[in-house]
Amino acid sequence: MALAPKGQAAKDAPQLYVIFITEGDVLGGALPIYHIERIITETGQPFDDGLHIIYVNGTQQGDATPLARLMHDLQCADPGAIFNPTLAHAVRHVKTSEEGAEKMGSMSEEIWNEGRAEGEAKGRAEGEARGRFEERLQMVLRLLKKGLLPPDEIAECSGMSLDEVRQLAAAQAG
């Protein structure tokens, strides 16, 4: 994704804001919001490259500031208790209209399918890795049983450490 055309001066680059809304106070300063700006370490001078990082502490809901009200609204399931009328209307629409229910149902199904696909891929990868390990282990055990190669050559050929091969040999002998 190109943010600026080639040759554009850095001072003319667009400002980019990355905002993290966290469940807790991840930076530990007991603040509702943290603005992270970059500096040149050696000089202490600001480095204004247009990148701004903001952490919002999602637990800050107890006062009447606009930020606290927004955090409340983003975590509120009851549209009647949401302060922002635009957000309250959108949540009410999703929760009470047939169209909203269908949209949420299809989004939920899409999220579920993505999670399932990721889980299957992870399980397949773990299973394949376990299978390769078991195959290598059986090969090492067979080589040790035949006694045709010394442990250091078995380790080199199998990719196992010499200590692992020696432990297998000792277990097999015992």
Model pLDDT, residue 28: 92
Domain ranges of the chain: 11-104, 105-173
**Contact criterion met (CB below 8 Å) for 69 and 84:** yes
Model pLDDT, residue 7: 77
Query: 18 is written with which tokens?
Result: 């990355």
Model pLDDT, residue 58: 86
Model pLDDT, residue 48: 84
pTM of the predicted model as reported, rounded to 2 decimal places: 0.51
With a CB cutoff of 8 Å and minimum separation 6, the contacts of 164 are 155
Model pLDDT, residue 4: 61
Distance CA 165, CA 146 (A): 14
Distance CA 79, CA 59 (A): 19
Model pLDDT, residue 168: 92
Question: Which tens digits make up the pLDDT trace of 46-89?
Answer: 988 889 999 999 887 777 889 989 988 988 889 999 999 999 99
Per-residue pLDDT of the chain (174 residues; tens, 9 = 90+): 455 677 777 667 788 999 999 988 999 998 999 999 999 999 999 988 889 999 999 887 777 889 989 988 988 889 999 999 999 998 888 888 888 888 888 888 999 999 999 999 999 999 999 999 999 999 999 999 999 899 999 999 999 999 999 999 999 887
SS3 content of the chain, % helix, strand, coil (to 5): 55, 10, 35
